[in-house]
């Protein structure tokens, strides 16, 4: 992603939408940060705020971590597949 060139906070949500097209994964965390920023929140429209909130929610950010037993199963599967490929 290139550097965002903004003259004011009113452009942050629009820039996020334009620059996020190729950044799935990074976008959700950036949306969360934009929503948490006081100046950005004041300047964005209700629609922009709703879309960013939906982006954060769809990613599951803030919902906690993976339960330990599922994390262990996932890591075991990754290890097994790594050995199979070698």
In a domain, 19, yes or no: yes
Whether residue 55 is contained in a domain is answered as yes
Over the stretch 28-46, which tens digit does the pLDDT of each residue have?
Answer: 787 888 888 888 878 888 8
The number of distinct structural domains making up the chain is 1
Question: What pLDDT does residue 72 have?
Answer: 93
Residue-level pLDDT at 6: 47
pLDDT at 30: 79
Average pLDDT of the chain, as a whole number: 76
Measured CA to CA in angstroms, residue 43 lies from 8, 13, 19, 40, 75 at distances of 9, 9, 19, 5, 43
pLDDT at 16: 59
**pLDDT given for residue 1 in this prediction:** 44
Which residues of the chain are under the pLDDT cut of 50? Answer: 1-4, 6, 10
3 within some domain: no
State which residues form the domain around 75.
9-85
Is residue 73 in some structural domain? yes
């Amino acid at each position: 992603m290139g550097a965002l060139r903004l003259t004011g906070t009113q452009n942050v949500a629009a820039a996020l939408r334009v620059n996020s097209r190729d950044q799935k994964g990074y976008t959700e965390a950036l949306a969360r940060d934009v929503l948490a920023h006081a100046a950005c929140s004041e300047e964005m429209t209700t629609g922009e705020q709703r879309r960013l909130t939906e982006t954060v929610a769809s990613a599951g950010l803030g919902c906690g971590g993976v339960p330990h037993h599922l994390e262990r199963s996932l890591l075991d599967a990754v290890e097994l597949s790594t050995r199979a490929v070698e």
